Each structure stands twice: as structure tokens, then as C-alpha cells.
Chain A
Amino acid sequence: MFSLENITNLVSTWLYANLDPTWALVVQFVIVGVLVISLFSILGLVLIMMERRVAAWMQLRLGPNRVGPRGYFQTVADTLKLIVKEGMTPDGADKFLFNLAPFIVMIVSMVIMAPLMFAKGFQIWDVNIGVFFITAVSSVSVIGILMAGWASNNKYSLLGAMRSGAQIVSYELSAGLAILTIVVFSGSLQVSTIVESQADGWWLLKGHVPAVISFVIFIIAVTAETNRAPFDLAEAESELTAGFHTEYSGMKFALFFLAEYVNIFVVCAVGATLYLGGWMPFHIGNWTSFNQVMDYIPSSAWFFGKTFFLIFVIMWFRWTFPRLRIDQLLNLEWKYLLPISLFNLLLATVIAIMGLHF
């Protein structure tokens, strides 16, 4: 059966057999870096294509249909265009911060990939506080956005960045509390342990009502955290031209754009890991033959299937709901999501202590 674990083990044993340990580690770093960067570019191409197709079909259109077979090379053409475009820096901008901001946003989304588990035994860094690491690092991206808005020296950019700050700071709370619910259930912050704990069923299914509620809250909160419609106030193209990246062009704009899509991928991967069992195949109690059939599907296929399903749900939101006003947005968080998730966490704790979950 196809398994990424064998490949990584093979590479690592070969490296340690032929090089001294320090160099083996360095070579591993390089391999991981190249893999992450290529995953980035592939994700960018695939997700943007997917978004445009989903959007078109939901709006009774066809989507891209000119470049390549049925328009599938459209994003490649767009990327080439962005690469050859000039990346302007406006005269009145704070040049250093202006040029730094896209890279901060980019690096943050790369770093969050570290604890993700892409398949069985295929993980960059199995840190014992994996989930905490993800929530902590993901909030750094707001600094990149604020930096971009402030350094652009443009009122629209600044307004967009301020909105984004308010939004991410508030929604981080309920996203964190939703994640905590699963941490309470599984009793661990380590991504691999959380996935192991779902071998006999996903938390969404065996966590009773609290897991379902926290899943819904998690999806809403991460949609807000990634600045996606209906919470795309930071961009709000009809009010703020393009929000914090109004002044960006060429590859610097592309970095923001790419980071947005990679962030979606990362948060959906986190959601899939916590609620849908990550790479864990779909198992039902003690139906052994059914479980064995499920095991034949490679774990990477399970992981990417679940992640792309969640990405589809988030795209579905975007092309269905109208944008919220800033006060409605904050009302939703502070008056609804936060109290509900606090109460929900309490409920989950009671269930976990009493051992009522399956």
C-alpha cells in the first residue's frame, strides 16, 4: 500500500548512514523547505482555480474557459502575469515596513504548517504543544496585515488593517475555545496524539453535542480569522478598494493573495485534524471488515480529502452570504460565539470528566 511514511523513513535512514548527523539534519531542513515551498505554489494554483470554479458554478456561470483545456491553465497564466509585473512601492510609504509586510504574512503561514500531520508518520515537527503552537503563531499574521496597512500611508489600507486587527483579535478567542474543547476530549495538545485518539471514531461523531457546536464555532471563527467573506471587512472591495493591500502590486500582492489561500488550507487542515480525525480513516466501532476496507485508502488521501471538503465549505460560505458590517461582526463574536463557546467548553469538560464520550 502507498505510504508516505516509508519514503520519509527511507530518506532519513539513508541520510544518517551516509552523512554525519549535523549534515544529515541540514539536508533534511533543505528538503523540508523545498517541499513546503512547492506545496505553497501548488496549493496557490489549485485553490485559486477551485475557488473560481466553485464561485462560477454557484453563481450560474462557467468560470474560466479560455486558457488551456476548459480554462484550467488560467491560474498558471495569472501567476506568470504577476511574476513579470512591477512591484511598485509608493513614494509616501514607509519603504522598509511596506516591503517586509508580505513576507511576514507569508512566513507565518509557512510556520503554521510545521505541526500539521499530512499523512500517517508524515509531519515536519511533532511538537508536544502542536495545537497551541498553531493558535499562537497564526495570530502573528495580524501584525503583517497591520504593518501593510500602516506602511502604505493610505487611509483605505489603514482602515482595512484596523478592521482586520479588531476582527482577528476577537475571533481568535472563540477559535481558541473551540480548539480547547477537543483538547479537553483528547487530553493532549500534541497533534499526533489527537489524531491517535480518533482511531475508533472522529471527535465530531463521538463527542456528542459539544463537539458539533464547537465544530460550527470553529468554522465560523476561522472564516473570520482568514479574512474570508462574509467576514472580509479587511478587504471590502466595495468600501475600501482592496483594504490593506490596496497599494501592493506584482509579486508582493501575489504573496498576500497566496498567503490567504494557504491560510485557508492550514485552518481547514487543523479543523480536519481536530474534528474529522486527520489522516485517520473512517472507522466504525468494531465492524472489522468495514474498517479494513477503509484502511486501504492511503492516509494522505484521507487527510487531503477532509481538508478539501472543509475548504469547499468555506468557499460555499463565501459565495452564499453577504458581507457583515463591522458592528454586526463584533456583535456576533462577543454576544453569541464567545458565550456559547464558553458554555460549550464547560459542557465538554463535564462530559470528559464523567467519561460520557465514546
Chain B
Amino acid sequence: MSFIRQYLSDVISGVKSLLTGMRLTGKYFIKHKETNITQQYPDNRQELFAGLPDRFRGEVVMSHDDNNEHACTGCTACELACPNGTIKIVTKFDMTPEGKKKKAIDKFVYHLELCTMCNLCIEACPTSAIKMAQNFEHSVFDRRDLTKVLNKPGSKVREGVE
């Protein structure tokens, strides 16, 4: 008897789960005007430049303020966090006014062609020096153009950021 009960409950739960799936796709079909989330790029290119959702990840950039200063201390935490070796930090030693040597970045090399936009580097950075930009048209004719140096020339680390 328990065998038959098991059999029937299998049938019923199977049918029920199939109907749940069909209800979802049926809803999508009927309300396709509202639910459609596919962006009609390039028709709405301008619209996409105007604003993508915040969580869209386009490219890693380093933010610089008006004095051409950034918050990167060269700790290499992002380089270690990156799963596919996209980031290479080249450090140098600056002289502080007191005559002490201080570690700083020379170049933050970022290989866009290797990046999977996983966001791990951004989470790893203790000073929030890097963030995700929203631009997405990354195609170039020369692969070398995808290797970028993120700190601007002549920039230095902001005072007080350790």
C-alpha cells in the first residue's frame, strides 16, 4: 500500500513542479512587454551610456581626485586576490620629507583582456582605491591597447591613506 502511495505522490509532485515552471514562463509570455530585460543594443546605445544598473561591471578603474591623487598604497592585495593574474603592481620607493623610504606604486598594470569582472580585487582593496566602471565597448584593433596603466601619470597617493 505504501508503494502505491509513494507512486501517486511522485506523480502528483512531478506534475505540480512542472506546472510551477509553466506558470513562470506563461507569465513571461503574457507580460512580455514588462518582463523583457534584453537591451536592444545598439539601437539604444545612448540610453545605455546614460545609465546602466549600479551592479553592472564594465572595467576596473582607479579613482583620482582633483589633485591627481589616488588611494592606492601598493599593498598588492588586489593582485593576490585576482584569480587570473589580471593585475600587476609595480612598486617603487618614494622619499618622504623626513628622509625615510616609503613604498608606493609606480604602475598599476591592468590586463583588461584577462579580466572576468569578478569583482574580487575591489572587495580585497583595503582603501577602496579601485572600483568598477560602467563602460562596455571594449573592442580595439590592437590587443596591446587592452593593457592599461590605471594610475594616471604624475599621480601620487593621497595624504593620510595608509
Contacts and interface: CB of A to CB of B under 8 A. Distances in A.
Interface of A: 54, 57-62, 316-317, 319-321, 336, 340
B44 interface: no
Given A54-B29, A336-B11, A62 B36 contact: yes
A57 B22 contact: no
Interface in B19-57: 21-22, 24-26, 28-29, 32, 35-38, 40
B140 interface: no
B29 A62 contact: no
17 contacts: A57-B28, A57-B32, A58-B28, A58-B29, A59-B28, A60-B35, A60-B38, A61-B38, A316-B22, A316-B26, A316-B29, A320-B18, A320-B22, A320-B24, A321-B18, A321-B21, A340-B11
Closest 3 CB pairs of A and B: A57-B32, A58-B25, A320-B25
Given A57-B32, A60-B28, 13 more contacts: A54-B29, A57-B28, A57-B36, A58-B25, A58-B28, A60-B32, A60-B36, A60-B37, A61-B36, A62-B36, A62-B40, A321-B21, A340-B11
Chain B interface residue number, banded: 10 to 19
Nearest to A313: B22
Interface in B58-112: none
In this complex, which of A54, A60, A62 has the most chain B Cβ atoms within 10 angstroms of its Cβ? A60
A319 B32 CA distance: 14
Contacts of B35: 60
A321 B18 CA distance: 8
A247 B87 CA distance: 46
A60 B18 CA distance: 19
A58 B35 CA distance: 9
A62 B24 CA distance: 17
Contacts of A54: 29
Contacts of A62: 36, 38, 40
Contacts of A57: 28-29, 32, 36
A331 to B, nearest CB: 11
Nearest to B37: A60
Nearest to B10: A336
In this complex, which of A54, A57, A336 has the most chain B Cβ atoms within 10 angstroms of its Cβ? A57
A54 B30 CA distance: 10
B92 to A, nearest CB: 50
Contacts of B21: 320-321
B40 A316 contact: no
A199 B11 CA distance: 33
Contacts of A317: 22
Contacts of A59: 28
B36 A316 contact: no
Contacts of B24: 320
Contacts of B28: 57-60
Contacts of B40: 62
